[in-house]
Amino acid sequence: MELNNNSLLIDQIIKNYPVDQQKEIIEYLQQLNNEKLKTCFIAFDHLKSSFNIIKSNGFQEWKKIKNKK
């Protein structure tokens, strides 16, 4: 599952975040495998406006690893 094929969904996920966080979210989504990316999209679809990718466990773990580099 490529991000380019899902740009409308990604736009919906990131639209309520500041630009600097949007870039970070896209970076996070780009490193996900197909299964995890699909899971993220399903979570967004089910939770709608209450979905917060910044608070998700996956994003938080990724950010910890990223900040250690």
| Domain extent for 46 | 4-68
* Structural domain count of the chain: 1
Query: Quick one: which of 27, 37, 38, 34 has its CA closest to 62?
Result: 27
pTM (2 d.p.): 0.85
| Residue pLDDT tens, the chain, 69 long | 455 667 888 898 999 999 999 999 999 999 999 899 999 999 999 998 899 999 999 999 999 999 997
∠ Cα 31 23 12 (to 5°): 90
Mention every residue, 6+ apart, whose C-beta is less than 8 A from residue 68.
Answer: none
Token pair 């919906």: residue: 12
With 0-12 CB in 10 A as exposed, 13-18 as middle and 19+ as buried, what is 40? buried
